[in-house]
Chain A
Amino acid sequence: MTKTQKRILKFSIAFALAFSVCPTVSAMHIMEGYLPPAFCIAWGVICVPFVVKGFYVIRKIITENRKAVTVLAMAGAYIFVISALKIPSVTGSCSHMTGTGLGAILFGSCTVSILGMIVLIFQAILLAHGGLTTLGANIFSMAIAGPFVSYAVYAICKKCRMNRNMGVFLAAMLGDLFTYCVTSVQLALTYQKEGGSVLSSAAEFFGVFVPTQLPLAVVEGLLTVMIMMALENYAKPELKAIGFEKSV
């Protein structure tokens, strides 16, 4: 390569980078310092009953079947790794799954609230996603609200005898979107405009994140369906082992 060619290449790389800087890196975790103390505590308190319920569910599972301890830990690690892997997206920006929909469908919403809490702590400390003071708010949106909606949607779709894949898609996508509605509301409650209502502020936060999050939610839904299909083909015995087939 000649010098000019190299220069052109470098320039084009810089150009490409400038236009594909990651705009959607986990925009759903509320960052450290964004919530005042009262809100940090309030969201934490709201999470307590769910987390306690999840804790008892997990403890029951483990006392009944000791082998579950490694399986549960692996499930938690799995959720973490899935949410840390870059998912393909059209613009070349990097983005991540929340993994909450998948987790809720596979392991049930109560279990996911505990595993999600641990995953969120790790994400806050290891990956700079989210924060320790905003842990309560993030647990509520990502480990409680999202999974519960996913699980409910999935259950309803099953009741209605809807196509299984459609149900999984809706569950994952709506769970994702709902997570992110909750995040918008959480931010809006904190940063209410003078003269504006909570709703209008929430709409504003929603509007700012929509262009990145809506396609992401669709991609997450698609991916969850494809993962579930892959699991049904390859992992029937494993799915049975975690009690998934029973519930279907």
Chain B
Amino acid sequence: MQIDRYAYRSNVNSWNAGFKVLLSIGTLCMVIAFDEVMVSLFVIMSLGAFTLGVGKTPVRVYLRFMSVPLAFMICSGIAIAAQFSSLPSGEWNISAHFFYLCLTKSGIKLAVQVSVKAIAGMSAVYMMAFSTPMHEIIGVMQKIRLPGLLIELMNLIYRYIFILFDVAAEMQTAARARLGYQSFRKSLRTFALIAGSLFVVSLRKANAYYDALLSRGYDGKIEFLTEKKRLKAWQAAGGAIYFTAVILIWRFCKR
């Protein structure tokens, strides 16, 4: 959840939010659509260098975020690469008595390709997440005319998440101080109690916040203001050059 803090601190924070979103989503779409290992590798390296070098996001933090879906990648990598069958039909076969786990070259290649593509996609999204605070991303969604109600809900939910996280952390500390996590059974009970009281707290807070909204003249529409950040010519040019580079690499590798 600290990603927002790093976004505010990033050197790229002063860039136009819409531009960053466009750059990130555009790159993401190209990575997915082109499905080319070289493009993915280029995107991983260039955007990684951008986030770390220009944005000055700490390397440790960046790596931690990138490694979150590692488990999913490994599990589904195995499922893509391997095949269960009663006959040893692959290039490498691991016998498991009742069936064989067959690895084929094409399967492994596919698994690696997909993993690289996934990492590239993540670096594209994280370029945006590590440089643009959430409320600016929501502001961009507002500009592309998503329904106002949705935007309002997103803004409120985003704010409330932090409030609830604080409350939950306090409750967890209190529970730990009272040995609430001594055993598996106890920790289940503690979790349920925390979730239950979190629910009560959240609804009470919702009432209080409604009163606060009313006292500030709420009439069914909440306006959120965002800072105006102008897009500079050299940034736009850089974005265009980057897109062209990605497309060129794709054309070049296709042949």
User: In chain A between 6 and 46, which residues have their CB closer than 8 angstroms to a CB of chain B?
Assistant: 22-27, 29-37, 40
Query: B68 near A: Cβ within 8 Å?
Result: yes
Beyond A22-B71, A31-B72, A125-B129, is A226–B79 a contact (Cβ under 8 Å)? no
Question: CB within 8 A of B206: which of A25, A74, A126, A212?
Answer: A74
Query: A87 near B: Cβ within 8 Å?
Result: yes
Q: Which residues of chain A are near B110, meaning CB under 8 Å? A: 191
Beyond A23-B71, A204-B83, A223-B188, is A131–B125 a contact (Cβ under 8 Å)? yes
State the interface size on chain B (CB cutoff 8 A). 83
Query: A235 near B: Cβ within 8 Å?
Result: yes
- Evaluate contact between A126 and B149: CB separation under 8 angstroms: no
Q: Which residues of chain B are near A72, meaning CB under 8 Å? A: 153
- A67–B218 CA distance with the chains assembled, in angstroms: 10
Query: A199 near B: Cβ within 8 Å?
Result: no
Query: B65 near A: Cβ within 8 Å?
Result: yes
- Evaluate contact between A31 and B153: CB separation under 8 angstroms: no
Of all chain A residues, the one with the shortest Cβ separation from B166 is A81
Query: A48 near B: Cβ within 8 Å?
Result: no
Q: Which residues of chain A are near B209, meaning CB under 8 Å? A: 70, 74
Number of A-B contacts (CB under 8 A): 239
- Evaluate contact between A127 and B134: CB separation under 8 angstroms: no
Of all chain B residues, the one with the shortest Cβ separation from A80 is B161
- A62–B189 CA distance with the chains assembled, in angstroms: 35
- Evaluate contact between B192 and A32: CB separation under 8 angstroms: no
- A80–B159 CA distance with the chains assembled, in angstroms: 12
Query: A53 near B: Cβ within 8 Å?
Result: no
Of all chain B residues, the one with the shortest Cβ separation from A51 is B150
Query: B142 near A: Cβ within 8 Å?
Result: no
Shortest distance between the CB of B172 and any CB in chain A (Å): 8
- Evaluate contact between B66 and A132: CB separation under 8 angstroms: no
Contact with A along B202-236 (1 / 0, CB 8 A): 11111101100100001010000000000000000
Question: CB within 8 A of A73: which of B83, B126, B160?
Answer: B160
Of all chain A residues, the one with the shortest Cβ separation from B221 is A69
- Evaluate contact between A196 and B203: CB separation under 8 angstroms: no
Interface centre among B70, B72, B83, B197, by most chain A C-beta atoms within 10 angstroms, is B72
Shortest distance between the CB of B75 and any CB in chain A (Å): 5
Contact with A along B23-46 (1 / 0, CB 8 A): 001001101110100000000000
- Evaluate contact between B198 and A124: CB separation under 8 angstroms: no
- Evaluate contact between A40 and B32: CB separation under 8 angstroms: yes
Beyond A31-B69, A74-B160, A126-B134, is A187–B150 a contact (Cβ under 8 Å)? no
What are the 9 A-B residue pairs with the smallest beta carbon separation, nearest first? A230-B196, A226-B192, A73-B156, A33-B121, A77-B160, A88-B187, A32-B121, A33-B118, A128-B68
